[in-house]
Amino acid sequence: MLGKILVIFLLFSARPAFAMMKPGMRAPDFTIEAAQGGKEFQFTLSEALKKGPVVLYFYPKSFTSVCTVEAHEFAEAMEQFSAMKTQVIGVSADKIETQKEFSLKECRNKFPVGADEKLKLIESYDAAFEAPIIGRIFADRISYVISPDGKIVSAVKDSGAHRHIENALEIVRNLQKTPNPN
């Protein structure tokens, strides 16, 4: 209980450490320890982009209220994302053991979540939250849509869950309508 109270306090007293990345920027490639359906594996952005767009979303802490709602909403939307050949991955600073359980229970086996305990990926995407005195300890709630050419086409920062899913679906639909210049 004390741990949850501390997380809530830090969420409301924290401030972003960086400005988020902007559309048009090249998305940093990465490989991260991830879990889907309770099973651990390596997720590599460049490999995922070969199949289509990727929605990369960062969230503060698995099993907290808004993060759980966000995972449920992404899980409910996965049929739509899959139909558009789009992969979704959530990332937090939680340990892989936590992500295995979160992927099974809250992501409902529909999409993977990555474990970034040292915040390297979180910082490379300008998604770190900085708490007073403590420093950077978890991710801000930021979502990116990355096109198959590796460019960020959308970036959303919002403390609620709904806007991230709605925006990502709209952006991916628009990508489907846009002719490929190659």
Model pLDDT for residues 106-162, shown as the tens digit of each residue: 999 999 999 999 999 999 999 998 766 655 678 999 999 999 999 999 999 999 999
Could you read off the pLDDT of 23-74 as tens digits, one per residue? 999 999 999 999 999 999 999 999 999 999 999 999 999 999 999 999 999 9
pLDDT band at 20 (very low <50, low <70, confident <90, very high): confident
Indicate whether 5 pLDDT > 90: no
Query: Edge-to-edge strands of the sheet including 128-131?
Result: 15-16, 128-131, 135-139
pTM of the model: 0.86
Cα–Cα distance for residue pair 57/113, rounded to 1 Å: 9
Cα–Cα distance for residue pair 33/44, rounded to 1 Å: 9
pLDDT at 1: 53
Show Cβ contacts of residue 150 under 8 Å, excluding neighbours closer than 6 positions: 26, 27, 29, 45, 46, 49
